Homo-oligomer: A and B are copies of this chain.
Amino acid sequence: MKKTLFILVAVSVLISCNTSEKKKEVAPEYTELQKKASAMFGKLPVQAECETNSITTEKVALGKKLYFDNKLSKDNTQSCNTCHNLETYGVDNLPTSPGNDGGFGSRNSPTVLNAALHGSQFWDGREPDVEAQAGGPILNPVEMAMPSEAVVVERLSKIEDYKRLFAEAFPNEKQPINYNNIKKAIGAFERKLITPSKFDDYLAGNNEALSAIEQEGLQLFMDKGCVACHSGNALGGNLFQKFGLFDDYWKHTKSKKIDEGKFEVTKKESDKYVFKSPSLRNIEKTYPYFHDGSVKDLKEAVSIMAKVQLNKDLTAAEIDAMVAFLNSLTGELPKNI
């Protein structure tokens, strides 16, 4: 009996030792680079929460329908998805996008993916959030070209499906179909469009999620100073910077038109050529690059950025590594939104 007890105790001690050892093995051991990067970029949330616009299932369902609905354009030809196509990483891959009447916008359509994480919206940051942004293109004459908020509301109010969906999404309101609720519903849907990638696995502790060259690129991305503007969990989208700190940008991008950026809104000298630093998530797929879509090749875009923003000439090997890292930011939309 004593012997049996001893064996049992010994075995259980062995098992428990073994278990704790196993746990130790599984627990992530952060490398220096991982530690630095995870402190720098933070964690990607599952969805971009908002105090003034709760993300309910009903609102998201309505927002999704609106997002894909051509009825939001004058001639029923365009939806949000036309220029921000979710099948192609939230963009149309054109330098600038044609609108309802065939004219082209003056700036590249940025991706809607992860846009809700940005500090502000549009290339000049003139709107504070995705809700405010959503209301713009519908009424913009060179975009969806609806004549007024009232016409949009009137058109949707005639549709039975929308009567039900708006009532479900905004249950305590007497007139749930209104322009503000359209913006809120589309905004709630967009707040779900978050795309984690293997980079997030790496940040979460899986050192093998990134290959050697991807890690090398990440190191360069941090050391060369790219992170000064492309920081936070979207790697950009939260700060403004003058495009062309060390040289006129258009000499490098071969832009046809010199866009003065935020200056065009504020008329302040200090805002000349200032744009929002875009998020780099899914950058591999969201060509062409820059505010005017003037550059198609990511290597060229990286080289131009290093030259005009940091006064640095990157070697071919450095560009290869940097692009390998950037490609690791290509993510996936969660299923069943």
Contacts and interface: CB of A to CB of B under 8 A. Distances in A.
Contact of A240 (B223, B239, B271, B311): B239
Identical copies of this chain, number: 2
Given A36-B246, A239-B241, A240-B240, A267 B228 contact: no
7 contacts: A117-B270, A225-B225, A228-B228, A228-B309, A228-B310, A231-B242, A238-B274
Interface in A178-192: none
A240 B36 CA distance: 22
A264 interface: no
A65 B233 CA distance: 49
A142 interface: no
A247 interface: yes
A247 B228 CA distance: 13
Contacts of A222: 246, 311
Interface of A: 36, 39-40, 51, 117-119, 128, 222-223, 225, 227-229, 231-232, 234, 237-242, 245-247, 266-268, 270-271, 274, 309-311
A311 B225 CA distance: 9
A110 to B, nearest CB: 16
Contacts of A227: 245
Contacts of A241: 228, 239
Given A228-B229, A228-B310, 7 more contacts: A39-B246, A51-B267, A128-B266, A225-B225, A227-B245, A231-B242, A238-B270
A31 to B, nearest CB: 16
Nearest to A119: B270
A232 B117 CA distance: 28
Given A36-B246, A222-B311, A245-B40, A268 B228 contact: no
Contacts of A310: 225, 228
Contacts of A51: 267
Contact of A270 (B232, B240, B247): B232
Nearest to A117: B270
